[in-house]
Amino acid sequence: MARTVGERLALKSSRRFYLAPPGGGGIHPRPESAGRHADEFMEAPKLPVERKTLDQREQMNELQRIRHSAAHILATAVLRIWPEALLDIGPPTDDGFYYDFDLKGHRFSTDDFTRIEEEMKKVVKENQVFEKSVKTRDEAKAYFEGKGQSFKVERLADIPEGEAISFYQNGEFVDLCAGPHVLRTGNVKAFKLLRVAAAYYRGNEKNPQLQRIYGTAFKNKEELEQWLKQQEEAKRRDHRKIGKEMGLFAFDDDVGPGLPLWLPRGGVLVEELEKLAKETEFEAGYVRVRTPHIVKEKMYQLSGHLPYYAESMFPPMELKESPDDAHPTRYYLKPMNCPGHHKIFAAEPRSYRDLPLRLAEYGSCYRYEQSGELMGLMRVRSLQMNDAHIYCTPEQFAEEFRSVNEMYLKYFKLFGFEKYLMRFSTHDPSKLGQKFVDEPELWKKTEDMVRQVLVDSKINFVEVANEAAFYGPKIDVQVWSVAGREFTIATNQVDFAVPKRFGLTYKTRENEAATPLCIHRAPLGTHERFIGFLIEHYAGNFPLWLAPDQVRVLTIGDEPSLVEYARGIAEELRHHHVRVELDPGTDKINGKILRAEESKVHTMLVIGGREKDAGAVALRVHGKGNLGVKPRAEVIADILASIAERRAG
RNA sequence: GCCAAUGUAGCUCAGUGGCAGAGCAACGGUUUCGUAAACCGUAGGUCAUCGGUUCGACCCCGAUCAUUGGCUCCA
C-alpha cells in the first residue's frame, strides 16, 4: 500500500470501450448515452497498463524484487510438482505477487499450499543464484517452442524490437523475464501463499482461463506477520461484518442478490446523509426534483442507452392493450437519473435568467450488475444516488465546477477522509470526432478550467489522458475498501454533448436558442457504496451525529425513582430528536455497559442514586470509557451541540 | 457471465454414514447491583434447495440458489 500514485496507476489495466459496437469495425462515438455519466458515478475506469521500460524496471524497490523473485520460486516449485504446467507470467503486485499457470490435469486448491510452500522452502534453502542471460528472438522462440510453453512464445511478441530479450535462471528453472531480481533465492526469507483464482489469459474473457496463485512476501518474518495481522484487522472492519453486527442492512434470498434491505439502524445513516446533502445543496442554490423509477423504452432510445446499455438494465416490463397486443409498450427501471432531469429541464421554457439551474435528486436506480461483481453494499443492483445536474451557460461554467469541487472537499473534511485520489481524466486530441466529441475548443477550455480548479484547491490529483468521457472531462474520486479494492466514491463530470441530443435549449439575452452545458455530479456517490465505505472508514464507530444509537441511559438497578429520573433525561433528549433509549432493567451495570459498548452506542449516561440526587449523569463515551459525573443540563446541551455541528467525535 | 471455495439455531462456530451440539442473543423467573458478562430455567433446526447413492445421508455424488475470493464487465 506504500505504492505511489504513479506506480499504482501504472499497474492498472485498461479495457474501456467507448466505441466499437460489436462487429462494428471502425471507431466512432458511442451513442450519446446519458447513462454513461451516471455510471461513472459508480465505477472507476481502469487506467492503461503501459509496458514498463527497462529503466523503470531497474527502479523496482527491494520489496518488489523480493516479490518478483518469490513468484519465480513459486513457479519453480509448481514445475517440480507438476512438470506439465504451462507458464504465463508472475509479476509483483501491490501487496504480494502471483503466477498464472495453465494446468489441465489438476485444479489448484488451498489444500495444495502446504505442499507447494514446502517445495518453495527447499528452493530458498538451495540458495540458487538468479542468473541473467540474453537470447536472440529466434533462440528464445525456439527455446519455448521446444518446451511447449505456448504462452511464453506469444509473450515474446510483446517485447519491442531492439529491446534485449532476457532470461533469468535459478536452479533448473528458466523464465523469460526482464528482471530485476534479488541475488539469490535465499534472499526471499518470508512468504506465504494466499489464494487461488482464475484469470483469463491477457485479461480477455475470450482467452483460456488460467489458474492464478496469489501469495505475498516480505523482507523478514516479522513484517510478514505484521501484514497478516493487519489483514485480520481489516477483516474486522469489513462493512459486511459490521453491518450484520450492528443491524445496519441485510440481504435476503427472497428479495434478490444485490438488493440490500436497510434495517432501521442503517436507515438512520441513509436519513442523516440525505439531511446533510439536502442542507448543503439548499445552501448552494440547488432545487430538488423527483423522477419516476420506471420510464418508457422510448426515453432510453433517445438517451442512447438502448440497445448498447440494455444488458446492464433489468429487462423491461411490457404493457399490453389486449392479450394479443403485438406492440406492447415497454417500460424500463431507470439505471440513472440524467434523462429524467433533462426532461425536467425541457418541461418549461428556459431563459438565461434561469441559469444556472441545479436539479438535485437522491434518485433510486436499478442496474443489472453481473452476478460475480456484487460485493456487499459496495456493488449492488439497487442504489440511490446523490445526484444532481447543473445546467449553465459557458460563462457560468468555471464557477459552477469550482463550487462543486469545494462541496466535495467540504464533505471529505467533515468525514475525515484522507486516503483518496482525485483522478482528472482528459481527452486525446488525436481522437476528436471518434472517441471524443469533436469540440476542440470546448475540450481545451473546460480542461484548462478543471485543471485550474484542482491546482487552486491544492489537492493531490493525477491527470490521465485519453480517459475522459466522450462528452467531456471529469474528476473521479477513488477510495479503497479495507479489502483493498478500489472504488469510485464520487464523480464530477463535464458534459457538453448530451444536452444537445435531448434538444435542450435556453434563450440568450439576444433572444437566440442556445444549448446549455451540463455538470453531472455526485459527491456522496450512492448511499449504498458511500455508507459501505463510511462503515469501514469509522469501523462502525460513527460520530455522534451519524451514530444509529446516539445515547443510551443506563440505570444502576431498577429502583422506581431512579428509573423515573433516567426516563426524564431520555424523554428530554428524544424531544430534541436525539436517538436515545432507556435501559432500565435489573441487569448489573457492567452487563448493560458491555452490551452498549458492543453495539457501539455512542454516548452512555449511567444513572445511580448519586447522580439522581445531584441532578447529574455519569458520562461514558464509546471507546473513551468513563468521563466522570457532570451536570445533567451541561451534558444534554453538549450532546445537542455536537449533533447540530456534526462534530467529528 | 467465467474459475474456485463456502453454506449447521437470530449471531459466532463445533460435529458424525446410525436420536442435531455449545456460547451469546431471545423468552420466563430469581438477583437490587457503581463503569466491558449475576444466577436458574425455557424455547429455538426440513443441517441452503432439489435430486441421486445407501438398510440408513447434515455427512458421499450431481444439479440449482446464495455468499466469498479472483477474472471479465463497469454504458
Residues A162-180: b if buried by 16+ CB within 10 A, e if exposed: eeebbbbbbbebbbbbbbb
In Å, what is the separation between the CA of A588 and the C1' of B36? 12
Distance CA(A637)–CA(A643), nearest Å, equals: 10
Q: Indicate the SS3 state at residue A133.
A: strand
End-to-end Cα separation, chain A, in angstroms: 27
Please tell me whether the interface predicted TM-score (ipTM) of this complex is above 0.95. Answer: no
A133, A136, A139, A145: CA torsion to nearest 10: 90
pLDDT recorded at residue A524:
95
In Å, what is the separation between the CA of A593 and the C1' of B60? 48
| CATH number for the domain running over A266-284+334-358+386-530 | 3.30.930.10
Say which amino acid occupies A264: P
Say which amino acid occupies A286: Y
In Å, what is the separation between the CA of A529 and the C1' of B64? 30
Cell of A328: 406492447
Q: Is the dihedral of CA A623, A624, A628, A631 positive or negative?
A: negative
Helix axes A632-644, A560-575, angle to 10 degrees: 30
In Å, what is the separation between the CA of A234 and the C1' of B13? 21
For residue A257, which nucleotide's C1' is closest to its Cα? B66
Q: What Cα–Cα distance (Å) separates residue A543 from each residue in A269, A272, A275, A552? A: 11, 12, 15, 15
Helix axes A394-415, A264-283, angle to 10 degrees: 140
Q: What Cα–Cα distance (Å) separates residue A72 from each residue in A79, A169, A174, A183? A: 10, 9, 9, 13
DSSP A321: S
Report angle CA A307, A311, A312 to the nearest 5 degrees: 110
For residue A259, which nucleotide's C1' is closest to its Cα? B66
In Å, what is the separation between the CA of A260 and the C1' of B73? 21
At A480-536, the pLDDT tens digits run: 877 777 888 998 999 888 898 899 999 999 999 999 999 999 999 999 999 999 999
| A87 in Cβ contact with A101 (< 8 Å) | yes
In Å, what is the separation between the CA of A361 and the C1' of B10? 36
Cell of A331: 417500460
In Å, what is the separation between the CA of A113 and the C1' of B12? 27
Distance CA(A324)–CA(A449), nearest Å, equals: 56
Say which amino acid occupies A302: L
Nucleotides of B under 7 A from a protein CB: 1-5, 11-12, 25, 30-38, 65-75
Q: Where along chain A do the CATH 3.30.930.10 domains lie?
A: 266-284+334-358+386-530
For residue A238, which nucleotide's C1' is closest to its Cα? B68
In Å, what is the separation between the CA of A375 and the C1' of B67? 9
For residue A588, which nucleotide's C1' is closest to its Cα? B33
For residue A611, which nucleotide's C1' is closest to its Cα? B34
Write out residues in chain A with pLDDT < 50, as ranges.
1-50
In Å, what is the separation between the CA of A241 and the C1' of B18? 38
For residue A597, which nucleotide's C1' is closest to its Cα? B36
| A286 in Cβ contact with A388 (< 8 Å) | yes
- What's the residue count for chain A? 649
Q: Where along chain A do the CATH 3.30.980.10 domains lie?
A: 54-236
Q: Where along chain A do the CATH 3.40.50.800 domains lie?
A: 551-644
For residue A554, which nucleotide's C1' is closest to its Cα? B35
CATH topology of domain A54-236: Threonyl-tRNA Synthetase; Chain A, domain 2 (3.30.980)
In Å, what is the separation between the CA of A415 and the C1' of B5? 36
For residue A586, which nucleotide's C1' is closest to its Cα? B32
Quick one: A551-644 is in which CATH superfamily?
Answer: Anticodon-binding domain (3.40.50.800)
In Å, what is the separation between the CA of A594 and the C1' of B40? 22
pLDDT recorded at residue A56:
67
In Å, what is the separation between the CA of A274 and the C1' of B22? 43
For residue A312, which nucleotide's C1' is closest to its Cα? B75
Distance CA(A339)–CA(A358), nearest Å, equals: 15
Q: Indicate the SS3 state at residue A496.
A: coil
